Structure 1
Amino acid sequence: MNYVDEAKKVFDTEIEALNIIRNSLDDSFTHILHTISECKGKVIITGMGKPGHVGRKISATLASLGTPSFFLHPAEALHGDLGMISEDDVVIAISYSGESEEIIRMLSNIKAIGATLIGISGNKDSTLIKYCDCYQVFPNFQEACYLGLAPTSSTTAAIVYGDALAVVASKIYGFNEDNYGLYHPAGSLGKKLFYKVKDIMATDENNATIKSGEKLRSAIIEMGKKGLGVVTIVDRENTILGVITDGDLRRQLENGVNVYGLDVDEIMTQTPTIFDEEIMAVEALQILKQKNISSAPVVDSKNKVVGTIRLQDILNIGIVL
């Protein structure tokens, strides 16, 4: 047996099944899509066994793309969780045979509650389909399992069908990157869209600042204490005047300067790179990398120093370019 050839047969069989379903899509899909997009409550997915695993995935995809949704296990539903369903909800029941016992036992209750019932099945004469307000019946295709028994092509088909519903529904809502980031704040895109410099900068006692006129020795102590790689020089009103970086210090020490004799104003950079506190962290990261600097002061709308942003702090929260 050539194992790779056998694996390719599985791919080929499931791809063929997807093509069969793709080419059979008609007004049933449109009807189900509008039922979902016009739902005033939540879209509840249910299924037993393998269809249940598929249902969880479909529900998660719907929710992440703007359709409020959750998965309801049929066995739990029969023991009280039917109370989670309201008349404003849409229930999508997945059963390839359409005769799954746990699914069938809950259908009359779903109808009595008043929720809209959608069925996804491969059997148009099944009990599930007879109860449904609208349904999608998959055409015949071959399971990838060589015994023709284990749900393989059918579960793949249901997942892709659910993806199609979720994606097209999101287009109806006008779902965009900002919406996606709102629902995925821990993801890379969410962080890029919502983290500002002010959310992650070093502030207050953690920030390194020193007043104009102070000795360079004091700046060295402040920089070492805060560990930001830069100290910001400010006036009495906390307005930024310049910065001294650890690179500046190294160069001065290499030149043999008297750290006790120099004022910070004598060696500070008067036109440093600075960031407004409202700038997005991802934009600050891009500028820091372009200018090959590791940190920079942050100011408010009145040019008052409010913090310091470090390249490493941005990377540490998971923002990458």
Structure 2
Amino acid sequence: MSLLEKLKMKWPIIQAPMAGVTTPEMVIASAEAGILGSIGAGYLNADVTREFIKAVKSETTKPFAVNLFVPKEVNTSKQELEEAYNVLKPYRKKLMIADEGALLSTTDFDAQVDVIIEEDVKVCSFTFGLPSGEVIKKLHEHEIFTIGTATTIEEALLVQDCGLDAVVLQGEEAGGHRGSFIEPYQFVSLQKLLEGAKGKITIPIIAAGGIATKEHIQQAIEAGAEAVQIGTAFVVSEESGASEVYKNQILLAEEDVTALTSAFSGKPARGIENDFMVFMEGNKIAPYPYQNDLTKTIRLRAEELGFYSLLAMWAGKNLHLVEKGSVKDIVNRLTK
């Protein structure tokens, strides 16, 4: 059975699970347009994850995915966190944010897995690592299709060997966070990943990274992928939760204006280059997820004020090729 048949998709497209940008409306519209919608639940707790799933289920009976961030124990000192926090003080002052520290996040991963099972979600995908054998076993016992994320062939082989059902091969062209989990991180193009997967990766491959046109989809399928995962094209959709200033910066781009940075979250991610990214080069950055916690109020206030120079505007290298419209319009353009 092909991946399309297993996931009941009309088109070989998965809407990328963009934490913070994806809305219930986007996931619903994706499912109804014949592609696989994905909830980006990486930053949510179990209760909010359940509410999001219920909101989607209330408007569509078609399958959709929930994406989780695999937690990793991070060793950092109070001094390191204070140094990273102090680097950000000028921005807090400029935005008139109270200098009262930052609330550090905790993971709700295991409870989220239980919610996915209880809510009968059909697909669960993972980023930033591999879930335990116990988690995979639980999901498979409930007939939930599982997807891992890899940025190298070495990582893809580990995804395959641990028993996940499919793998997203994420090229370095991709917008947003790298799904890397083996250090030192490598930045490999999608084309090289697809070439390297031949004869090695036997589970279904989902290609991601810089895919913005019908031609890009066709090239990925011809190179061995069964489907593609697309993010940036849906960031500018009417159903997207991205701010208007963020959408406009993508739509105004006439060429690749992106760069990789760890400034916002502590993990490498590709976004539209701005003053904050440039300023943070060489400055102290806390490890993920703590840098994300330290910059959260800055990003929220910048969004309120329309200061794109301080926003994390994740986008892939081919952002200049995307066009605005509803999810349905965008899917039609990609499949016409």
Task: Tell me the TM-score range normalised by the shorter chain.
Answer: under 0.3
Whichever of the two has the greater Rg, that structure is 1
Greater percentage in helix = 1
Query: TM-score by structure 2 length?
Result: 0.27
